[in-house]
Structure 1
């Protein structure tokens, strides 16, 4: 007879599955050997992202197949993961890299030649079309670097930088992204440091605001038919919330001794 108890089936699956149980709800650090899996996850997360399409939708890419563009998109994300493993921190959660975050800690960047070589980022020089190279190397990278320097000013080298955060479409609504954010902002708060990010979707700004991020600037990329906007957001360090004791307190002022 089939077991119709969903909870029991899930419990049995977890007991017999080779997927580590902690991967379901624990944040873990991704290693360089996992770059391909984490990169593919981010590729799915950003498959419809305006900024990702901007790099690959130049007029000189019109003759390329959708399959070619998808493979290049996956390659870009895989290189990004590798670069951040080498120079930053990559975290993931979920049984199949369901959500992934790329972080640069204070004082770190991934644009040195050695990281570019080891991560595979150098391949973009010949993988991207001429217009794609102009958009990525001559426009996007300089604008992002300059904007971060202006917004953060003398704190530019002191902040945590959330470069990418993505959840695969079939894993959304499970709280994965929030756990990845909290994992690092708690560290930032403990060190009294701000956190910086760029949001490519105005609708997600309200989500980030729940964690204390505020929009500081909007930048536009205008080489395509339609401008693409990025929303620059910063979260200032926050003091830990006080922990209240659960011990009963006698409120004698109310008379009769009320316990709360």
Structure 2
């Protein structure tokens, strides 16, 4: 039997996974792009927005593996853009939940981030209808909705671009942990927060952290419209976020 006083360094090694990864929030580096991109792809595989963007008539005959490879590529480019201009955080032992943020005054759609992240390649890699849905419909809609919703505070807010949990890791509070870490930071800075959500279920999770729906985006190029809900959280410096018990299924959603 092991002595309780045995130094940690002398105890038998039971796992090579850093023990803090299951309980702490950590920032990801660009060198983790492949692993993070794959986890994000799993988290967002059934996300209404992700499906909408790639569900045009010109992909109807694609093999499932080809469509999946494009989805993974999109997530890797997206990760790189947020890592260049913002902060990407994760929790769980195997990139189980990931959140991508931009701080006040930073945006992922400027030319430098688009070039360095490789996002520009999507113009050539996406099929025609997906290209129209991304560049002609979604990107302008996100830009205009945020400006309209935040007004003069658009450059002074924390933005949650994406948050997703892998299917097998849901229900463990990982998404709540990632959100709480950044709401605490925003409260300490006395700054608002903004996100777009593609899931009514997750709207309820965000509401527990103080987010409120302020508007919506309607995407209409598919057979059925897809809605994104613009949500704002006002700073709450008087009470750095109390413990929030979440009951959402924590699907990968925008955000």
Same fold (TM > 0.5): yes
User: How many Å apart are 1:45 and its aligned residue?
Assistant: 0.7
Paired residue secondary structure (2:42) = helix
Structure 2 residue aligned with 1:176, among 174, 177, 197?
174
Structure 2 residue aligned with 1:114, among 112, 130, 138?
112
Structure 2 residue aligned with 1:89, among 65, 87, 90?
87
CA offsets, 1:7-61, max 9 Å, x none? xxxxxxx942111111111000000000111111111111001100111001111
Q: Which has the higher contact order (CA 8 A, sep 6+)?
A: 2
After the TM superposition, list the runs of 4 or more consecutive aligned residues in structure 1 that deviate by more than 2 angstroms.
239-242
CA offsets, 1:122-154, max 9 Å, x none? 110111111111100011000000000000000
2:61 equivalent in structure 1? 63
1:159 aligns with 2:126: no
1:205 equivalent in structure 2? 203
Paired residue secondary structure (1:110) = coil
TM-score (norm 1): 0.86
Point out where structure 1 has 5 or more consecutive residues left out of the alignment. Answer: 1-13, 243-260
- Describe how 1:91-240 pairs up with structure 2 within 5 A: 91-240=89-238
| Structure 2 Cα separation of the partners of residues 15 and 191 of structure 1 | 41
Larger Rg: 1
